[in-house]
Structures are given as structure tokens and as C-alpha cells.
């Protein structure tokens, strides 16, 4: 917890309690991402889970830090992101929702 | 084969209201929730209105753990170098309190427990992965490898509804039809909050944040409200708008937080929790898509959400109660086909829910329309409307003209000047007459009835 202004999203995410699922609830068809010019998922994700790796030229993502808003699923222009709710009791646990 | 009468997917306000009503009618009900406890997946983004809840659970005030009774509402129009604010007080709500700030984790858990105590079977940690469909008729749900069968399945599973998707009622979600929200809960001592917002213990304030950066970003709005020893601040925007403007919503929330006016209110607050959620823009699902063979949709799953007022919980509760009435009728007839479940619309129509949601969705369209950066001069009128809005009762049908009025007063700042006064005059006249003349009232509603004919005829 921090009182300073301009916390990064990663610092903010440290306040969220998440039970990590062994199985990923997000899958991305990465070959589609290479053709993608907009990469809206990088902007829309409120947890900034999607990042573009310039060296490896591929989309990297971290399903473990997902806030489960599901916006990425709606906006992917290539339809490459398959997002569903984490299984049986896993995932985010808001204490002050 | 395990079979029950009714399976409800999702133990939010809609699911729990439906389960509670069904259990009281003695109908066998299973309530499934994907979280380990109900409410842990949910995020509130506005004041909680419990008027409708009080009808369903009269003793709720004594049992619920609520934060502050919201008695003041400030509507604030922000620009980079100016602030206009209008404050309305709602002290009548102290005598008959219906507006509260609350944490959904406690609220939803209490509500689901209430349903389970009445006799519904609550099972948590159950993520429904698919429906079991036989000959186009929903006969049960799949949870991983497990199969559960029922006469009727109620989808109360929120925006990304598996029930709506797999039953074919709403298979594809449109990014233009939803709002994304991010919220921060900031720790601040209760005395500091009391000082800054001029409150006493137990009383709270709500701030609606409008128009900020509207030139770049049309659909962005925000809200701020006080909890006992914390402040919740949230930003909203349509997903399509975020995409078009390449705007990060959390960056927009930061902009709100750094505005001098807001900054003074939340200064030194430490972050308690960071949250995000998605909600529908309201009313975009056609009414004939709220029911099918062996399936009903409630609350957010059926986009029954009054976006403009921000009231999701009361609309969900009312739709859940009406779904329960429908199922009771179906149980008596022993017929769970779409033909019987169609009565859901009649029950919904006995409340003002569909009218309000439909009106609200049209306001959403204006957000997507043209925007102009203007500081409106008549925000007093806007605030007056807000004030009345707090008295809206979804169970009665009298508030339609009020909604039309409000819709115009906020919407007009976003529409071309040439349209303003004719539209304004039209709405003014219709709302004036409607108060006295029942005949003309029905004329104003004719558009709604045209739309409604789709399922009546």
C-alpha cells in the first residue's frame, strides 16, 4: 500500500488478491497478432497484462494477473483472444468490490 | 441423473432475488456461484439503492452491513481550468434510508445467504462452462465434467453470460454496447472524510463527474462516493470509444484523480484495492431474447441495466423477482417452453423496468454521438432531475416523463445545436401534459409500444 501519486498499474495490482488457476483461462492465437496493426489489447486491459515483445516479435500475456473484466475478448480485431472465466473458485477475489 | 426444478446461474442480486422468491414459493432451486463466496467477483460502482430490496426483505436494514447513508449528491462538470458543481441534499433519506454505500462482497454474500436460509441450495465455486441442450431446449448446465439437470435454467451470470451465449439468446457481444469501469478504493480516516465532505458519522456523499476531457473522449464519466473509512473513485467509458481513441481507462481515472478539485478531496488516500469490471450499456438486448425454451435471462445477463442512473442492483433485483413469478406460473402449468416463459415480459411490463432501461439505452447512443466541450449553464436543472431520480421506484410505472426529461437535459450538450430546442420543446410539452393527461401520456409512450409490438404481435 502506498500513498504516493502516479502508482504504476503493477503497483496497484499488488493490492488485489488472486487465487491462481493452474490452467490458463486466456489463450491467444499468437500467429494472428503478428498481422495485427492496432494491438488494442495493450490499451484496453486495465491490468496491463498484455505486452508486446519487440525482440521475439510476439504478444506476451500474464493470465494470472487478470481482473476478469473480459474487455480483451470483446475488442480483439482478429478474434485471437479466447477469454473465459477461471475455473471453480479460482481467479480474482475482491474484498472491497 | 440429478434433476431439480430450477437452476440459477450466478449468486448476484438478480440470482439471489430470484432464488429467494422461488424458495419462498416452495420451488426447488439450486443457486450456482463461480466465486468461493458470493460477491467476491463483483464490483459496485455507484450508490446502492435498496428501495426494491426492502419490499423483498423488509428486515434487510437490521441485517445488512452498510457503509454510509448517502444524503448528498454533487453533480460536477469538470474542465481543465473550471469546475461547476451543483449540490443536492437528500436528507429525507435519513428518515427513510434507501441510499447507501456498500461493499458488494458483504452485500451479495448476505443476500445469497438469505436465499439459502429460505431453502434454496447455494453451491459456490461452480463455474458453469456450458449448457445441456436437447432439441433446442435447455435442460441443464455443465460445470466442468459435472452435469446438472433442471426444468428451467435462469441466467443471472452477468455481462459475459454463458447462459445467454450458449442458449443462442445473445451469442455475440458488441463492444459498442458496454461500459468498462475501473475503480480504486482509497483509505482515509473517517474524521478526514467527514471534514472534507462536511458530513457527520454514518452519513455520506456521492459525486457524479461529468464532461471531463469530452473533446478527446466522449463517453468518459466518473463517480466518487464515501465509505466509512475509505473513498471509492471510478471511471467509466465505452469499450468502443476507448478503442477508437487509443485511451487507457486507468490513465483516464488518474486524470480525474489529479484534477485539482478531486485531488483536494482524496489527498493522502492510500490505495486499498484496485478493481475493474464490465457492464452493459443497457437495454440493447431485444425483449424477445430474454426467454427461450427452458431458459430465462435476468439482470446484467439480459442487459437489464439502467446505465444512465447507474442503478444496476435494483434493476437486477426486480428482474429476478419477476423471473420467479414466471417460473411459479410455469411450475403450476408444468410447462417450461418458451410459450409459457414468454409471460416473463408481462411480469416485467407490470413494472417500469423495461421503459427505464430502454430510455437509458438511448442515452447511451448519445454518448457515442457527437461531443462538444461546453460548460452547460443549466446544470441546476440537471441536478434537480438527479434529485428526483433518487426517488425512482422500478416497481411502479410513474416516472417515465422524468427519465425523458433527464435524458434530454444531459444529452443535449452532446447533440447539434439545431436539434436542441425543437427536441427540448417536444420533451417539455410531452412531460408537462403527461402529468395531467393520461391520453397524451400514452402518446409519448407510443414509440415504446411500437417496439413492444414485436413480441406482443
Residues B91-104: tens digit of each pLDDT: 776 777 888 999 99
Q: Percent of chain B scored above 90 by pLDDT?
A: 51
Any CB–CB contact under 8 A between A67 and chain B?
yes
Task: Flag whether B139 is in a domain.
Answer: yes
Residue B303's region, left for phi above 0, alpha for psi from -120 to 50, else beta, is left
Residues B165, B112, single domain; the answer is yes
CB contact under 8 A, B34 and A89: yes
Tell me yes or no: is domain A26-86 CATH 3.30.70.20: yes
Checking if the pLDDT of B428 tops 90, the result is no
Q: What is the mean pLDDT of residues B222-233?
A: 95
Residues B312, B257, single domain; the answer is no
Give residue B268's pLDDT: 92
Residues B87, B150, single domain; the answer is no
CB contact under 8 A, B270 and A70: no
Cβ neighbours for B96, distance < 8 A, ≥ 6 positions apart: none
Query: Which ipTM did the prediction report?
Result: 0.92
Any CB–CB contact under 8 A between A20 and chain B?
no
Report the range of poorest mean pLDDT among B230-244, B368-382, B411-425.
Answer: B368-382
Give residue B372's pLDDT: 41
Of B300, B316, B349, the last residue of a domain is B349
Residues B184, B234, single domain; the answer is yes
Confidence of residue B390 (pLDDT cuts 50, 70, 90): low
Of the candidates B34, B105, B249, which has its C-beta nearest A46's C-beta? Answer: B249
Give residue B217's pLDDT: 72
Cell numbers at residue B272, please?
Answer: 486499498
Residues B395, B412, single domain; the answer is yes
What are the chain A neighbours of B34 within 8 Å (beta carbons)?
85, 88-89
Report the range of poorest mean pLDDT among B347-361, B387-401, B436-450.
Answer: B436-450
Q: Rounding to the nearest 10 degrees, give the CA dihedral for residues B209, B215, B217, B222.
A: 0
> Of the spans B234-248, B334-348, B401-415, which averages the highest pLDDT?
B334-348
Task: Flag whether B161 is in a domain.
Answer: yes
Of the candidates B104, B143, B180, which has its C-beta nearest A69's C-beta? Answer: B180
Q: What is the mean pLDDT of residues B450-457?
A: 56
Residues B250, B110, single domain; the answer is no
Q: Where are the domains of chain A?
A: 26-86
pLDDT, tens digit, 9 for 90 and up, residues B329-352: 999 999 999 999 999 998 988 888
Residues B56, B139, single domain; the answer is yes
The count of structural domains within chain B is 3
Cα–Cα separations (whole angstroms), residue A49 to A39, A59, B413: 13, 10, 36
Task: Flag whether B79 is in a domain.
Answer: yes
What's the domain range around B313? Answer: 3-62+102-174+284-349
Considering only residues B444 and B78, tell me which one the structure prediction assigns the higher pLDDT.
B78
Residue B331 belongs to a domain with what CATH number? 3.50.50.60
Give residue B451's pLDDT: 57
| Tens-level pLDDT at each residue, chain A (97 residues) | 444 567 899 999 999 999 998 889 999 999 999 888 888 999 999 999 999 998 988 999 999 999 999 999 999 888 899 999 998 889 999 999 8
Task: Flag whether B355 is in a domain.
Answer: no
Residue B238 belongs to a domain with what CATH number? 3.30.9.90
Residues B139, B271, single domain; the answer is no
Of the candidates A46, A67, A88, which has its C-beta nearest B127's C-beta? Answer: A88
Confidence of residue B371 (pLDDT cuts 50, 70, 90): very low
Across chain B, what does the average pLDDT equal? 83
CA atoms of B428 and B413, how far apart (whole Å): 16
What are φ and ψ of residue B259, in 5° steps? -60, 130
Give residue A65's pLDDT: 92
CB contact under 8 A, A88 and B180: no
Of B259, B280, B301, the last residue of a domain is B280
In angstroms, the separation between the Cα of residue A56 and the nearest Cα of chain B is: 24
H/E stretch holding B163 reads helix B162-166
pLDDT, tens digit, 9 for 90 and up, residues B6-30: 999 999 999 999 999 999 999 999 9
Give residue B14's pLDDT: 96
Amino acid at each position: 500500500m502506498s500513498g504516493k501519486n502516479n502508482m504504476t498499474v503493477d503497483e496497484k495490482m499488488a493490492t488485489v488478491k488472486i487465487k491462481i488457476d493452474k490452467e490458463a483461462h486466456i489463450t491467444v492465437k499468437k500467429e494472428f497478432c503478428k498481422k495485427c496493426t492496432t494491438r488494442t489489447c495493450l490499451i484496453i486491459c486495465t491490468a496491463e497484462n498484455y505486452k508486446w515483445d519487440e525482440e521475439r516479435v510476439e504478444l506476451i500475456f500474464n493470465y494470472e494477473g487478470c481482473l476478469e473484466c473480459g474487455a480483451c475478448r470483446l475488442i480483439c480485431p482478429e478474434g485471437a483472444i479466447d477469454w473465459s472465466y477461471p475455473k471453480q473458485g479460482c481467479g480474482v477475489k475482491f474484498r472491497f468490490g | 441423473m440429478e434433476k431439480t426444478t430450477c437452476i440459477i446461474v450466478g449468486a448476484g442480486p438478480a440470482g439471489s432475488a430470484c432464488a429467494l422468491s422461488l424458495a419462498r414459493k416452495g420451488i426447488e432451486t439450486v443457486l450456482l456461484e463461480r466465486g468461493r463466496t458470493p460477491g467476491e467477483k463483483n464490483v459496485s460502482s455507484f450508490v446502492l439503492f435498496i428501495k426494491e430490496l426492502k419490499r423483498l426483505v423488509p428486515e434487510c436494514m437490521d441485517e445488512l452491513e452498510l457503509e454510509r447513508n448517502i444524503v448528498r449528491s454533487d453533480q460536477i462538470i469538470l474542465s481543465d481550468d473550471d469546475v461547476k458543481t451543483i449540490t443536492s441534499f437528500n436528507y429525507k433519506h435519513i428518515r427513510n434510508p434507501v441510499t447507501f454505500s456498500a461493499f458488494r462482497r458483504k452485500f451479495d454474500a448476505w443476500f445469497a445467504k438469505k436465499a439459502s436460509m429460505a431453502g434454496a441450495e447455494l453451491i459456490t465455486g461452480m463455474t458453469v462452462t456450458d449448457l445441456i441442450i436437447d432439441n433446442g431446449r435447455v435442460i441443464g448446465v455443465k460445470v466442468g465434467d459435472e452435469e446438472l439437470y433442471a426444468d428451467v435454467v435462469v441466467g443471472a451470470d452477468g455481462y459475459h453470460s454463458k447462459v445467454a451465449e450458449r442458449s443462442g439468446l445473445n451469442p455475440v457481444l458488441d463492444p459498442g454496447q458496454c461500459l468498462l469501469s475501473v475503480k480504486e478504493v482509497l483509505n482515509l480516516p473517517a474524521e478526514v472524510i467527514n471534514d472534507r465532505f462536511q458530513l457527520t458519522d454514518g452519513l455520506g456523499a456521492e459525486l457524479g463527474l461529468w464532461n471531463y476531457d469530452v473533446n478527446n473522449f466522449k463517453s468518459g464519466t466518473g463517480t466518487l462516493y464515501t465509505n466509512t473509512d475509505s473513498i471509492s473513485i471510478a471511471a467509466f467509458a465505452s469499450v468502443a470509444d476507448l478503442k477508437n481513441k487509443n485511451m487507457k481507462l486507468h490513465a483516464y481515472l488518474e486524470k480525474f484523480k489529479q484534477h485539482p478539485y478531486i485531488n483536494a478531496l482524496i489527498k493522502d488516500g492510500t490505495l486499498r484495492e484496485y478493481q475493474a469490471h464490465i457492464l452493459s450499456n443497457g437495454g440493447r438486448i431485444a425483449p424477445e431474447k430474454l426467454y427461450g425454451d427452458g431458459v430465462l435471462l435476468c439482470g446484467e445477463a439480459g442487459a437489464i441495466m439502467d446505465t444512465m442512473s447507474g442503478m444496476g442492483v435494483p434493476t437486477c433485483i426486480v428482474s429476478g423477482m419477476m423471473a420467479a413469478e414466471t417460473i411459479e406460473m410455469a411450475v403450476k402449468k408444468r410447462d417450461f417452453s418458451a410459450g409459457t416463459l414468454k409471460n416473463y415480459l408481462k411480469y416485467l411490463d407490470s413494472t417500469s423496468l423495461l421503459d427505464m432501461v430502454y430510455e437509458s439505452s438511448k442515452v447511451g447512443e448519445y454518448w457515442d454521438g457527437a461531443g462538444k466541450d461546453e460548460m452547460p449553464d443549466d446544470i441546476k436543472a440537471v441536478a434537480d432531475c438527479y434529485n428526483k431520480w433518487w426517488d425512482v421506484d422500478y416497481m411502479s410505472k410513474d416516472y417515465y416523463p422524468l427519465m425523458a426529461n433527464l435524458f434530454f437535459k444531459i444529452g443535449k450538450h452532446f447533440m447539434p445545436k439545431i436539434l436542441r430546442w425543437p427536441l427540448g420543446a417536444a420533451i417539455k410539452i410531452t412531460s408537462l401534459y403527461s402529468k395531467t393527461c393520461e391520453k397524451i401520456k400514452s402518446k409519448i409512450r407510443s414509440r415504446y409500444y411500437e417496439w413492444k409490438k414485436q413480441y406482443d404481435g
